Structure 1
Amino acid sequence: MERTLSGREASEAVGGLGWRFLLGAIRTSVPVGSLAEGVAVAAGAVAACGSEADRHLRVDVRPGRVVLTLQSLDHAAVTTRDVTLAGRISAVAEESGSRTEPEVGADAPRSVQLLELAIDALDIAAIRPFWKAVLGYADEQGADGPRDPLVDPVGQGPAIWFQQMDQARPQRNRIHFDVCVPHDEAPRRIAAALAAGGRLLSAARAPAFWVLADVEDNEVCVTTWQGRDG
């Protein structure tokens, strides 16, 4: 029976296969040498999922990599079925000479991540329709409340969520980035940002998120799934 998984359950179930849990889905990046090779990897993933591909699998094919995403569209979450499909895809990739495990080392390319935009607002319900209309965005699957996040229906742009303010902050940037990274890559990403001149403003909510800023105090959060369940 298909069951929805918590972030911890999903992460632990697929971590050994090279997949990572990010924002309600599991993802992996498969290095390829050409677009033709990428199409072949994508075709193998679709074949591994069979009739369940359309309801679970999303594929982004580029000349150097193929990003595979699994999430149950019916549940808008990772389920036990997605974990099973991840195992099938990884097995097929290995048989064809590819890999779903990320490269490691200081010079390794990043694996997977997601970008969100956070907009500070005093009246979220008043500004949300504007951003939905001007960006051509849609309500998140299973959520259509006046304060819920917005997503790009074709998956090209970052998700947008709204942060409730209790008073105006005219001297602070009102829009900031949230960079969701694999939990085991967060320390390396933060260290690189600090080495590049950034400052750590807060780790009070780590490992859910760390707040960093550049030298002009523009803020960004590095986030992971950890510390969010429950």
Structure 2
Amino acid sequence: MTTLTGQQIADARLTGWVNLGDGLRTRVRTGDFATGLALVEAIGAVAEEVQHHPDLDLRYGHLDVRLVSHDAGGVTSRDVSLARAVGDLAARMGAELDGAAVQRFDLALDTPDRGSVQPFWRALLGYEDTPGQDDEVRDTAGGLPAVWFQESGSGEPRQRWHLDVWIDPSSVAGRVEAATAAGGTLVDDTAAPSFWVLADPEGNRSCLCTWQSRDPGADGPAS
């Protein structure tokens, strides 16, 4: 199936869902474990019926759901349809979708020689290469953050590691305000609304990332 662009996903106006670059995500506020378990079973039944299966993470009080079409390499109309179905099931159980509570982060290693260090990190972490991306390795089970390798200069001193924190575009202004109020600095916003570069009081940089202004189906590094 054809993957949807970020704008096409936004145009679907899915209540309670956010696009974090690697799929559609939401947090269902179930209030207790039993309701969450019942919702998992209901979602599982629908998923089996349509033969399209979400990633589910059940905790006491909430259920995190991620939807992506792995065979297509991104979000498709199947995910949009299943997202609506999950919303309907949650509503019947009196549970609320809270997409604003969900975020994702990747680890980025800034290096002048990706080819020499990438095999080491893949082996150390027990990761695999990410299909379609020659600058990233990933957890085979999808439970841990991906690690990608950004080209940098070799001059010293230089920062080695930074985080890419993916959030919904509507949350960026508040997150930047909170980070700067906590002593941080907005270093660079020239790539906004794709990503913003911020630094802590010691100058360590990280990025806030969104789906906006990216290639169709993009799921890769932002900064």
Question: What is residue 49 of structure 1 aligned with on the other side?
Answer: 47
Q: Distance in 2 between matches of 1:133 and 1:24?
A: 23
Structure 1 unaligned runs (5+)? 103-109
Superposition deviation, residue 101 in structure 1: 4.2
Question: What is residue 35 of structure 1 aligned with on the other side?
Answer: 33
1:124 aligns with 2:114: yes
Q: Distance in 2 between matches of 1:87 and 1:51?
A: 15
1:223 aligns with 2:209: yes
Q: Distance in 2 between matches of 1:171 and 1:64?
A: 45
Q: Distance in 2 between matches of 1:187 and 1:127?
A: 35
Paired residue secondary structure (2:162): strand
Q: Which amino acid aligns with 1:158?
A: P
Q: Distance in 2 between matches of 1:189 and 1:128?
A: 31
* Structure 1 residues 34 and 169, CA gap change in structure 2 (3 angstroms): farther
Question: What is residue 55 of structure 2 aligned with on the other side?
Answer: 58
Question: What is residue 107 of structure 1 aligned with on the other side?
Answer: none
Question: What is residue 139 of structure 2 aligned with on the other side?
Answer: 152
Whether the 8 Å contact between 1:202 and 1:211 is mirrored in structure 2 is yes
Q: Which amino acid aligns with 1:128?
A: Q
Deviation per CA, 1:161-209: give whole Å up to 9, x if none.
11112x2142222110110001111111111111111101000101111
Q: Which amino acid aligns with 1:38?
A: G
Question: What is residue 7 of structure 2 aligned with on the other side?
Answer: 8
Alignment of 1:170-185 (within 5 A): 170-185=156-171
Considering Cα pairs closer than 8 Å and 6+ residues apart, tell me whether 1 or 2 has the greater RCO. 2
Q: Distance in 2 between matches of 1:52 and 1:121?
A: 44
Paired residue secondary structure (1:185): helix
Q: Which amino acid aligns with 2:205?
A: E
Superposition deviation, residue 124 in structure 1: 1.1
**TM-score normalized by structure 1?**
0.88
Superposition deviation, residue 52 in structure 1: 4.1
Q: Distance in 1 between matches of 2:68 and 2:57?
A: 14
Q: Distance in 2 between matches of 1:229 and 1:124?
A: 23
Question: What is residue 191 of structure 1 aligned with on the other side?
Answer: 177
Superposition deviation, residue 92 in structure 1: 1.1
Q: Which amino acid aligns with 1:113?
A: Q
Deviation per CA, 1:4-23: give whole Å up to 9, x if none.
1112212332x432111112
Q: Distance in 1 between matches of 2:156 and 2:32?
A: 48
Question: What is residue 84 of structure 1 aligned with on the other side?
Answer: 81
Whether the 8 Å contact between 2:105 and 2:164 is mirrored in structure 1 is yes
> Which one of the candidate residues 13, 16, 23 is aligned to 1:18?
16
1:74 aligns with 2:47: no
Question: What is residue 220 of structure 2 aligned with on the other side?
Answer: none
**TM-score normalized by structure 2?**
0.90
Q: Percent identity?
A: 38
Q: Distance in 1 between matches of 2:166 and 2:177?
A: 15
Q: Distance in 2 between matches of 1:169 and 1:34?
A: 53
Q: Which amino acid aligns with 2:150?
A: Q
Task: State the Cα RMSD in Å.
Answer: 1.7
Question: What is residue 201 of structure 1 aligned with on the other side?
Answer: 187
Q: Distance in 2 between matches of 1:95 and 1:111?
A: 21
> Which one of the candidate residues 137, 141, 160 is aligned to 2:127?
137
Q: Which amino acid aligns with 1:85?
A: L
Aligned residues: 216
Q: Which amino acid aligns with 1:87?
A: R
Q: Distance in 2 between matches of 1:176 and 1:135?
A: 17
Question: What is residue 106 of structure 1 aligned with on the other side?
Answer: none
